[in-house]
Structure 1
């Protein structure tokens, strides 16, 4: 047998083996399975079993995976293993605890592949997989957001889901003055939020702007100008399918800029500072910071350390051009733990510009020390 024929034969055997490994599952059925070191491996090396559900294109089904032995993970789409097609939806802990739960739409082929997976590559043990009929697709709530009033909502299994990504989302309406500029803030602690802005017309959201991580941490921020009618819509969603948790939306006047006031710090000093609402802040992320003018000898290498028990500090070094900061270096945890440590070189005038801030926009007290850097330090 030639090498080409042998290669074709091996490929055929692999395809056949893959097909045989797909276990059919019906609506209303619950099957027991087990993952082990001998299970097929997904692209990330984690073990999985592959199931197929046959139904009518466009039907929605709810898939649940429970295990007391490992952290379950589900994927479903036209192709679900070992990699996943573009229409795949995923879930880790949507079923409560470490169990998985997702809602999927049967593709045009009428065959939905389901990957019963684990989070860890070395996970093993038994599990139960079930498929039930999903309720009718929820409609967006179209809640009205009052200006300058933080309003709480929730994304979860009962939220509308994006047809392509499986992301839960909701649509809220905003009304203000025509031509009014507003800042939209979307904050969530339990998932990575993403914010869209546009109009709602004939049951469709038409997006004109979006933001993922423009706010502190993973939160979202958008500054937009309302149309002449003063009416607009915002889309509140998550990155990734299966998100569950509360979020807060605030729509109001953008915060008024505060002037940057430079404080002077000399090498050898120990400084006690505080980040609060009186400080300057970055326009997009609304993160307060203190700006320092460091004084020492021309060309002097200086070690700066920032510590805080109230927040995770970050130090930034660079040049200010008016209110614009051109960063040249930064450090977050170089001082050990959450402490920041940065070694910089003063310019020919024996000066430099330093920004002291928190990693996520938090406020509170901090200490900062400036000493001559030890020879050979970096």
Structure 2
């Protein structure tokens, strides 16, 4: 976002006339240096947050930097900014990127020049001692690991890994793997990293840059079919400022399993199980079970699916020229829970197909399905 210059904002915040100050009026923080300071009730405040102090430092275009604000007295809030044509451009902000109540920012300078660090309390009443620092970050390394079918590896996202590169702060870190198998082999890759949502993509290198051409299905799942060379590159990462260990598994999906429809009788519940080896949704790899029902034109029916191990998802439609054409679908029965229900009026007499699956890829476990009048 863009605001008036820091000096002008100070004047507004204090509701008193202040002489406009250039960036040179702020104390210098040399790259590689740590400075100590104190926030007090007499310091100006901004944006319904607490008091702040401003430091300036020199950055080089294209260089990567990390700035840290630490305090045991208040909840730290750190901003990196620059002045462009008399307007202060607030580039990045952070609250707790350094853990607990400390702030940390990683960014790449878009141009050489003077940049500002705004050391602030997140809460209006925050005051006390702090330290602020800025330093360069190591150059990015390009390392490609090897991953074979049936293997699980443990990796770690680190500050020296490549970044997605969205904006001055980057879009998150990733590792690259060369996945090897046999030409035409159908693979399922799964990345797990605590409560985060990993992003997996397949692709190739164009010079020094990774170019994706196969995109993950969400929830850290990627479906691939190996090219004639029998190998491809996989980008494993998490968007956002996320670091830490993860696991990455690659498994053979085997030949595409054909659906084995089961006839569902009115009012009679059937117990099923979603699991590896079931027919797959080719777009996102969700396991699917197929059921057939017979209905009359204009008849209203209600299909329910109850599951505890995964979030159930139902779809009902007809087969037209060998392709499934959906009429209705639903994720949740009510506002909460993992069950699903679809209520629909059948457009014509005949057979209909019900697809029982999970809301997200990777869902497995037992369920119960039933159809009846509403």
Question: Normalised by the shorter chain, which TM-score bucket?
Answer: 0.7 to 0.9
Distance 1:46 1:301 in 2: 57
SS of the residue 1:258 aligns to: coil
Q: Residues 354 and 198 from structure 1, CA distance in 2 versus in 1: closer, same or farther, beyond 3 angstroms?
A: closer
**What residue is the counterpart of 1:328 in the other structure?**
327
**What residue is the counterpart of 2:145 in the other structure?**
143
**What residue is the counterpart of 1:155 in the other structure?**
157
1:220-231 equivalences under 5 Å are 220-226=221-227, 228=229
Tell me the alpha carbon deviations over residues 27-58 of structure 1, each in whole angstroms, 9 at most, x when there is no partner.
Answer: 412445589xx9544xxx98896855422314
C-alpha displacement of 1:282:
1.1
Check if 1:102 corresponds to 2:105.
yes
Q: Is the 8 A contact 2:39 2:53 kept in 1?
A: no
**What residue is the counterpart of 1:172 in the other structure?**
177
Q: Residues 176 and 358 from structure 1, CA distance in 2 versus in 1: closer, same or farther, beyond 3 angstroms?
A: closer
Distance 2:302 2:74 in 1: 46
Check if 1:352 corresponds to 2:352.
yes
C-alpha displacement of 1:70:
8.8
**What residue is the counterpart of 2:364 in the other structure?**
363
SS of the residue 1:154 aligns to: strand
Matched residue count: 346
Structure 2 length as normaliser, TM-score?
Answer: 0.73
Distance 2:244 2:221 in 1: 16
C-alpha displacement of 1:288:
0.9
Q: Is the 8 A contact 2:152 2:249 kept in 1?
A: yes
Q: Residues 75 and 303 from structure 1, CA distance in 2 versus in 1: closer, same or farther, beyond 3 angstroms?
A: farther
SS of the residue 1:28 aligns to: strand
Tell me the alpha carbon deviations over residues 71-128 of structure 1, each in whole angstroms, 9 at most, x when there is no partner.
Answer: 866564658999865xx5x656542346443322333142335566899xx8864585
**What residue is the counterpart of 2:8 in the other structure?**
17
Structure 1 length as normaliser, TM-score?
Answer: 0.73
Q: Residues 265 and 157 from structure 1, CA distance in 2 versus in 1: closer, same or farther, beyond 3 angstroms?
A: same
C-alpha displacement of 1:158:
4.6
Q: Which has the higher strand share?
A: 2
**What residue is the counterpart of 2:58 in the other structure?**
55
C-alpha displacement of 1:258:
0.8
Q: Residues 261 and 174 from structure 1, CA distance in 2 versus in 1: closer, same or farther, beyond 3 angstroms?
A: closer
Gaps of 5+ in 1: 1-11, 374-378
Q: Is the 8 A contact 2:119 2:132 kept in 1?
A: no
SS of the residue 1:173 aligns to: strand
C-alpha displacement of 1:253:
4.4
Tell me the alpha carbon deviations over residues 240-290 of structure 1, each in whole angstroms, 9 at most, x when there is no partner.
Answer: 2x1123333344644321111111123322222221224211123221121
**What residue is the counterpart of 1:269 in the other structure?**
268
Q: Is the 8 A contact 1:302 1:343 kept in 2?
A: yes
1:1-378 equivalences under 5 Å are 17-18=8-9, 26=29, 27-33=33-39, 40-41=46-47, 51=54, 53-57=56-60, 58-66=62-70, 76=80, 88=92, 93-97=96-100, 99-114=102-117, 125=126, 128=130, 130-165=132-167, 166=170, 167-176=172-181, 179-181=183-185, 183=187, 185-189=189-193, 190-200=195-205, 204-211=208-215, 214-215=216-217, 217-226=218-227, 228=229, 232-240=232-240, 242-251=241-250, 253-321=252-320, 324-338=323-337, 339-360=339-360, 361-373=362-374
Gaps of 5+ in 2: 14-22
Tell me the alpha carbon deviations over residues 138-185 of structure 1, each in whole angstroms, 9 at most, x when there is no partner.
Answer: 4133222223312221214453435554221222334455x5555362
**What residue is the counterpart of 1:5 in the other structure?**
none
Q: Residues 290 and 198 from structure 1, CA distance in 2 versus in 1: closer, same or farther, beyond 3 angstroms?
A: closer
Q: Is the 8 A contact 1:67 1:126 kept in 2?
A: no
Q: Residues 28 and 16 from structure 1, CA distance in 2 versus in 1: closer, same or farther, beyond 3 angstroms?
A: closer
Q: Is the 8 A contact 1:50 1:113 kept in 2?
A: no
SS of the residue 1:266 aligns to: coil
**What residue is the counterpart of 1:376 in the other structure?**
none
